[in-house]
Each structure stands twice: as structure tokens, then as C-alpha cells.
Chain A
Amino acid sequence: MRPLDWAVLFIALAGIVLYGVWKGRRTRDLEDFLVADRRQPWHRVALSIMATQASAVTFLATPGQAFADGMRFVQVYLGLPVAMVILSATAVGLYHRLKVYTAYEYLEGRFDLKTRTLAALLFLALRGLSTGVSLYAPSLILSAVMGWDIRVVIFIIGGAVMLYASLGGARAVDNTNFLQFLIIMGGMFVAFFTIVRLLPADVSFLEATRVAGKLGRLNAVDFSFDVKNQYNFWSGLVGGCFLALAYFGTDQSQVQRYLSGGSAAQSRLGLLFNGLVKVPMQFFILFLGAMVFAFYQFTQPPVFFNPVQLEQARAGAHGAQFRALEDTYAAAFAEKQQAARAYVGALRANDTAAAATASRQLQSAQDKANGVRAGAVEIIKEFDAKPNDTNYVFLSFVTRYMPAGLVGLVLAAVFFASMSSTASEWSALASTTVVDIQRRLLMPGASERFYFISSKLATVFWGLFAIAFAQYAGQLGSLVEAVNRLGSLFYGTLLGIFLLGFYFKRVGGTAAFAGALAGEAAVLYCFFRTPLAFLWYNVVGAAVVVLTALLVNAFIKQNRGR
């Protein structure tokens, strides 16, 4: 990091905290704190929704995903626009008309208290645990690449968010999310144009893109149907739609964003804008990763992108063997670079036969380099049972090759991405804790002022909990991975409960509750006993909840008839 980068990073972080505190300074009551007085215009709702969904890991892992596996990940988002239409046509109007603070409040009016409490507790448990992990994961990557102490990174992100989120509530969160998202996307565009500029002078952008395509990195869509594979069109459209319905329709961290809309129309527009631009945005971020891949066909990459583990391997018991593998990797790269240039030359000469030959040589050189890398990864397994450097690819490129000032800007964007999703999570956790648990169950009948202060304290509590969890997450090992996967195990059930509420008017609370238990059992069965791709869990969970509830409801009615 050069002084200019430090200056940009410091100004950006200090600026956003001051902006958040300033924007939230007029927050004076519970309505204001939990739903920003329901006055946000649609463009703020839209960008706040997008900033909440896109965490730092999204911006670090997605380019890495394209680098390692190509662009097929974009298909996961194909169901999202459909979900935005469905939610705009149903849930948004309902939530606005009922003037709820949380999505779970709706469930009591529709079903009963036990269904509302079950959904609220599920959200608190899942989001409470995952918020610590979502603070830890980007901090780990930033600390490894920048050489910073991870505790300092966690404290900076957590402390900054806690300051403005606890003082200004949803108003501060929505306004900072809006600004942060603009800067994040600005940082991504700057990174993209820097990559294009850094390509060799004798290789055009289109030629580099064709090299990436030839090596399988531009595989955006695949129409083959396979329920074991989540990266195809059908899994993305159907499974992705159910996932988006669950996330945007039942997860308070998202519902709270559009509850703050000035009207149902403003909230709808916010969701629809998200549906319009989310897929192209993900495509762009993946394409950024594919261009990093193209760049590294002409500039030698490290054999492994996590710098900490790279150094550990070099200095470890098998250090000599590892360094020899690095030399072999350099030779394999030289061969690959030569093949890539031959391929570009053949394309330029419009020589189909030469292009086909060079293409085969390129693929062969790529396989050879991959083989050497696999050997290096085996040595790294000495320090990490499941070494994976995908999340380090993009940041490693940024810190090595981007000019002074722009490194600071991209790092600020990564910090902002982490802060925006974290702030929304803490704000949503606080609102559910106070509205669904404290005000409804534990301490009903207190003054609005009391609940307003409680909401601020709840934000601080969840912030401290997340920071503490993140500090120790490194010692939890595979538990972190388990927590990450936990969300996908419960979304289908939550969605099923809400679908019953929205579309099956005759189903009562007891039937919905029984349906939820059956749906969860079905999802857990799929998780432990079947190879089903995780996107389909939401479809299975929601379907079993609805079908079981309909059966139980019919049974209850039949018994009443007797």
C-alpha cells in the first residue's frame, strides 16, 4: 500500500461513517429507526437492496469463481427477476398495507403467534450466526492479502457499522448503503478498465477475451437439465427463483429495506430495478474475473493466490519441493503464453487450421499448468485441509498491478461491501429482536420511547456479538462452513410458510406449523441423503410445507365436520 492508497482508504472510511451519522441524526422514534419513517425514494430502496445482497465476499469471490470455473455462476441469478415480479405483485402491497415493521409480524395476523415466533427465531438464529461469519470472511481475505492483523480489520468494519447503524437505524443504513453501492460499482469499473489497459500492447481486448473463451471461462449459459448441478439454466431459473423469493420475501434484512420505501409503489420500483440490473451486474463482475484470467495468460500468476499459505509452503518442511514446483509452473506458463500468442496470431491471420492447432496446444499447456498447480496445492494441504485460493485472485491482482490511489479505492469498495451487508443484517436483527420478541412476548405495553432505545441497544448487542464471533471464527474451523450452508437449509421452509399466507387463504396456523416441520425434515433429508444441488432445497422445502399444510388442514376440517 502506497501513501496515496492509505489516504484514499482513510478518507473513504471516515467519510462514510460521518455521512451515516449525519444522515441518521434526525432519527427520533421507533418508526424512523426501524423503517426510516417509510419515506425512502425507490432509487435508494433499490441500491440499498443491492448493497445488502452483495457482501464483500461477493465482490472478492465472484471474479475468483469466473477465474477458476468460468462464468456459469451467473445462471444462479436467472430466477431473481421472476421473483422480483412475484414479490412486487404480492408481498410488497401486503406489507405496506399492514404497516408492519418485520415480515414475521404479518404471520401472526395471518396464522398465529407460534408461527410468527417460529419464523422470527429461525431468522435470529440463522442471521445471528451468519453475521459473524460474514464479518470474518472478508476480514480474513483482506488481512491475508494486505498483511494486516485480522482483529484490526474486524474491528474497523464492525466498529464503523456499529457507530452509524446504532445511532441512525434504517435511515443511516439505507443512505450509506446507497452511497457505498455507487462507490463499489465505481471501483469495479475502474478495476475492469485497468485490466483491459494492462493487457499486452500486441493483444487486443477481443483477442484476450477469445483466449479466455477458448479455455472455458466464458460459459455463461448451459441449457442441459441436471438437478445435481446448480449451474445450469433450469436450476438457476427455478431454484434461483425460489431462493430469491425466500431471501427477498422472508429475510428481514431485505424486507426492512423495502419497508422503508415511501409507498408500496416506491418499494415495488426498488425491487423491480434490482430485478432489471442484478443479472447484468453479476455478469459484469464475472466477466471481470474472466478478464483477470485472460490477463494471467500473458503475465505469470503465482502458483497459489493466498500469499500467507504461499509463504508457509515455501518455508515449510516441503519448501524445496514446493519451490521446484514453482519453477516447473513458470516453465509451464511460458509454454502456455507461447500457445496463447500463437492462437492470437492465428486469429489475426484468419487462419482456421492454425487456430485449431494453437487452440489444442493452449489447452494442453493449460492442463499441464493445472497439473503442476495441483501438486503445489497438495503441499499446501499440510497447513489447510481444503486449500482454496479463489477468493484471493481478484484482490491479489488489485494489489499487485493497479496504480496508486486506485488500490485504495478498490479496497474501500471491498470494505464498503462488507459494511453495507453487515449494517443491514444488524439493523434487521435489532428490529426482529425488539418487535417480534421483546415487544410482543417479553415486555409488551411499554412506551414507544422504550422500544426505540431498546432498538439502538439491540443493534449494539448484535454488533458486539458479531465482532466477538468473528474474532473467534478462525478457531471454529469447519463450523464456519457449516454456518454458511445453514441458511440454505431453512429458507425453503420460511418461504413455504409465507406462500401459505399469501396464496392459501383457508390454511390455518396449526396446519402451517405442521407443514413447516415436515418441510424442514424434507430439506434435511435432501441435505444428508441426496446429491440434490442446494438451489433445489428451497423448491423442495417450500413445496413440502405447502402440500403438508394443505393435507393437515383438510384433515382438521374433516374432523371438525364429524
Chain B
Amino acid sequence: MRDETHEPETREEPPPFGGSWRTLYAVLLVNLAVLTALFYLFTRYFG
């Protein structure tokens, strides 16, 4: 195994949907924020 551990990734394959990886990462984090807000409302409503 060559020591390529720090070689920059020159050609990053784009995701098959969503445009870019950054967009998909943002979707995931926004989803987490929305879920947390919904859990808070759920706890408040039923608590």
C-alpha cells in the first residue's frame, strides 16, 4: 500500500443527484435541525 494518505483528491466524483456533495451535506444538517425543532414541539405539545 502506497502512502497516499495526504494526497489531495484530484477528481471527486459528483453525487448522482443533488448537484454537489456540499448541497447533500447541507440537506442532512438542515434535516437534523428541522427534526430537532419538531421533537421540541412534540415534547411541548404532549408533555
Chain A residues with CB under 8 Å of chain B are: 74, 78, 81-82, 84-85, 88-89, 93-94, 97-100, 105-106, 108-110, 209-210, 212-214, 216, 218-223, 233, 263-265, 268-269, 272, 275-276, 279-280, 283, 501, 505
Contacts and interface: CB of A to CB of B under 8 A. Distances in A.
Interface residues of B, number: 30
Nearest to B37: A221
A74 B42 CA distance: 13
Interface in B1-47: 1-7, 9, 12-16, 21, 24-25, 27-29, 31-32, 35-36, 39-40, 42-43, 45-47
Contacts of A264: 12-13
Contact of B28 (A265, A275, A505): A275
Nearest to A101: B1
Contact of A265 (B16, B35, B40): B16
Contacts of A213: 45-47
B46 A109 contact: no
Contacts, number: 91
Contact of A263 (B6, B13, B47): B13
Given A209-B46, A265-B16, A283-B39, A100 B32 contact: no
A88 B21 contact: yes
Given A98-B4, A105-B1, A221 B39 contact: yes
Contacts of B46: 209-210, 212-214, 218
Question: Lowest 4 CB-CB distances: which A-B pairs, in order?
Answer: A213-B46, A218-B46, A220-B39, A221-B39
A221 B16 contact: no
Given A93-B12, A109-B2, A218 B42 contact: yes
B2 to A, nearest CB: 7
Contacts of B2: 98, 109
Contact of B5 (A82, A110, A269): A110
Chain B CB count within 10 A is highest, among A78, A108, A220, for: A220
Contacts of B27: 276
Contacts of A100: 1
Contacts of B39: 74, 220-221, 283
Contact of B4 (A97, A214, A501): A97
25 contacts: A78-B32, A81-B28, A81-B31, A85-B25, A85-B28, A93-B12, A97-B4, A97-B7, A97-B9, A105-B1, A106-B5, A213-B45, A218-B42, A218-B43, A220-B42, A221-B36, A221-B39, A223-B40, A264-B12, A265-B15, A272-B25, A276-B27, A276-B28, A279-B32, A283-B35
Contacts of A279: 32, 35
Contacts of B29: 81-82, 85
Interface of B: 1-7, 9, 12-16, 21, 24-25, 27-29, 31-32, 35-36, 39-40, 42-43, 45-47
B21 A268 contact: yes
A203 to B, nearest CB: 15
A94 B5 contact: yes
B9 to A, nearest CB: 5
Contacts of A221: 36, 39-40, 42-43
A538 to B, nearest CB: 19
Contacts of B24: 269, 272
Contacts of A263: 13
B25 A88 contact: yes
A275 B25 CA distance: 10
B38 to A, nearest CB: 9
Chain B CB count within 10 A is highest, among A81, A89, A105, for: A81
A98 B31 contact: no
Nearest to A209: B46
B29 to A, nearest CB: 7
Contact of B47 (A84, A110, A218, A283): A218
A81 B29 CA distance: 7
Chain A CB count within 10 A is highest, among B12, B14, B28, for: B28
A88 B15 CA distance: 12
Contacts of A85: 25, 28-29
Nearest to A505: B6
Contacts of B7: 97
Given A81-B31, A89-B21, A213-B45, 4 more contacts: A74-B39, A81-B28, A109-B4, A268-B21
Nearest to B1: A109
A276 B31 contact: yes
Contacts of A89: 21, 25
A219 B28 contact: no
B43 to A, nearest CB: 5
Contacts of A214: 46
Contacts of B16: 265, 269
A109 B3 contact: yes
Contacts of A210: 46
